[in-house]
Amino acid sequence: MDYAAMKAKANREWNFLEQLPQPLIHIGMGTCGKAAGAVAVHAAVKQTLKKIKYLSRIIEVGCIGLCYLEPLMAIRKPGKPFIYYGNLSPEKTEEILKRYILEDDPSPHLAACTLGNGSIEGIPKFNELPMIKPQVRIALRNCGLIDPESIRDYIAAGGYRALEKVVSEMTPLQLIEEIKVSGLRGRGGAGFPTWFKWNATRQEPGREKYVICNADEGDPGAFMDRSVLEGDPHSVLEGMLVAGYAIGAQTGIIYARAEYPLAIRRLEIAIQQAREVGMLGSRIMGSDFAFNISVKQGAGAFVCGEETALIASLEGERGMPRLKPPFPSQRGYWDKPTNINNVETFANVPWIVNHGGAAFAAMGTEDSKGTKVFALAGRIKRGGLLEVPMGITLRDIIFGLGGGIKDDKEFKAVQMGGPSGGCIPATLLDTPVDYKSIMATGAFMGSGGMVVVDATTCMVDLARYFLKFTQSESCGKCVQCRIGTKRMLEILERLCAGEGKTGDIELLLSLGNEIKEGSLCGLGQGAPNPVATTIKYFRHEYEAHINEKKCPAHQCKALIRYYIDPEKCKGCTLCVKKCPVDCISGEKKKAHVIDPAKCIKCGTCLEVCPAKFSAVIVE
């Protein structure tokens, strides 16, 4: 079946679903949904429909971004909008289905929002949700709304229209100019102008060229690329096809980390479907353009997110970076001109072609055009995936879209740029989120992970956590990175163990500068950033660890102690019953005592002590 026939069939099926006389049910079956219990919810939907003897179409969709509400289910009755229900259990799912299908009761008190034409009293609309209202969804335009395993759904939603336009109406140079007008910069972290990389690769001599999609997302707390691949894989394939046409390549490779099995499975399904309808192969859409795509699974080395290390891994070598120049656009995969962009960058491309580069450039700031996808995680009320115009402030993201800090605790910092990024403190919450402004804080945009921490987080321990990650992920090629990060980690571990010494702060900064200057790739150059930024903004916590042998956040076990205030303790014995090591003694209705020699500082006594007493003290 060719593209035209598939497009006609896709539109017919889309119209059929729109006019379906039975309810249509969407279940969020991305990795985040499954982790939250979506598999059990899916089973409950099937069992309930069978029990009440009712026919309904069930479609597994990707993540719509409302991860804090997972698992999610959406039900659409004929002529009505979808109603989204969140935080589901099998029992709650059965209750909702029976009420809505059998009694026409949408249970507004259980609903999260509606989506589509029309409204239902008592239920807010999707676009009115605080987390959704400021968003402009381009890379995420289809995520959670279409069946990611159906090319018909993608085509019916406007998919492959950009490719059709490119091969029938545009020359490669016109296409590159459109991307230049858009101001699209690479969304993988470095923020390099996309058009420049495409043009540089195109200008290199030779017929054999490659397009590589970097899907080796490895930052802790980041799940932007995974969600796009799981929710809308064809958008990435179409972006790669457009890039291939622009630079004169015939081969595309998606380098995806093996820890993303669902994303890889859906990619392979999408590739097979695209091949069957002529989107991949020779004479695409009747033109002279030929292009094929394959998937390569990476073994999970964080350093392979760096493009030259990624290329080495693709060639069967150990993933280690090399000196640049030559750049991949000059000598990349098998020494041939190679263009590398990440998942989000490619997902933006079809939208830019369809709507024009100027429409994309109209959003964002002078230096940072368009939108950016962020993964909001950590101590945040509304964690999830969001896409906002560049230039929005950190405050608007964290306290507006994210709803603020869990349990209404005090905001302390946000870690941006992953383990090679930096921590931005509360005093800089009004910083605009663009490449230049974020870099000025000492952090950087990275691929879009935001990990929010509150006042209970020890910044020395947080820096230790991220440095431990980068130290273990160092490929070992550069001496400064291999040995320097190890020495820095040893110092941080001493500080957290109460063995800090005068001069440790200065030594950390000195080592960090040497590692930055002596490392080939972004991993080593950025590894000291979490330490440098936490020292810059939270130096007093380092000094407390060294000079006072105390952890202000009460997290480093070697630097804290638990005791019971005899004037507050009423001898309720709850702490005695729950203590895992029997280190608390005392008579009933009399003040109790903690034996410091036995105490393992687990915090159980603090958790179970009634708030009206608050007798357990940690210092």
523 pLDDT exceeds 90? no
* pLDDT level of residue 360 (50, 70, 90 thresholds): very high
289 pLDDT exceeds 70? yes
Contacts of 97 (CB under 8 A, 6+ apart): 45, 48, 49, 52, 75
pLDDT of amino acid 19 = 67
pLDDT of amino acid 1 = 59
pLDDT of amino acid 186 = 92
481 pLDDT exceeds 70? yes
Average pLDDT, the chain: 94
343 pLDDT exceeds 90? yes
DSSP 218-232: --TT--HHHHHHHH-
Most confident of 274-288, 294-308, 343-357, 508-522: 343-357
pLDDT of amino acid 447 = 82
What is the distance between the terminal CA atoms of the chain, rounded to a whole angstrom?
Answer: 71
Instruction: Return the SS3 of 300.
Output: coil
Please give the average per-residue pLDDT across 379-397, as a whole number: 96
Q: Where are the beta strands (DSSP E) in 274-401?
A: 292-298, 338-342, 371-378, 384-389
pLDDT of amino acid 189 = 76
Structure confidence by residue, pLDDT tens digits, 165-211: 999 999 999 999 999 999 999 998 778 999 999 999 999 999 999 99
158 pLDDT exceeds 80? yes
Structure confidence by residue, pLDDT tens digits, 209-246: 999 999 998 888 788 999 999 999 999 999 999 999 99
Q: Is the pTM of this model over 0.85?
A: yes
pLDDT of amino acid 301 = 86
Higher pLDDT, 122 or 445: 122
Bridge partners, 125 (sequence order):
114
Structure confidence by residue, pLDDT tens digits, 12-50: 776 766 666 789 999 999 999 999 999 999 999 999 999
Structure confidence by residue, pLDDT tens digits, 417-450: 888 889 999 999 999 999 999 999 999 888 888 9
Please give the average per-residue pLDDT across 294-316, as a whole number: 92
Could you tell me which of 515, 514, 507 has the C-alpha nearest to residue 490?
A: 507
Please give the average per-residue pLDDT across 322-349, as a whole number: 96
DSSP secondary structure letter of residue 363: S
pLDDT of amino acid 436 = 93
* pLDDT level of residue 9 (50, 70, 90 thresholds): confident
DSSP 526-540: HTTHHHHHHHHHHHH
Give CA 358 to chain center in angstroms.
Answer: 27
**What dihedral angle (degrees, nearest 10) is formed by the CA atoms of 426, 376, 367, 129?**
-100
463 pLDDT exceeds 80? yes
pLDDT of amino acid 417 = 86
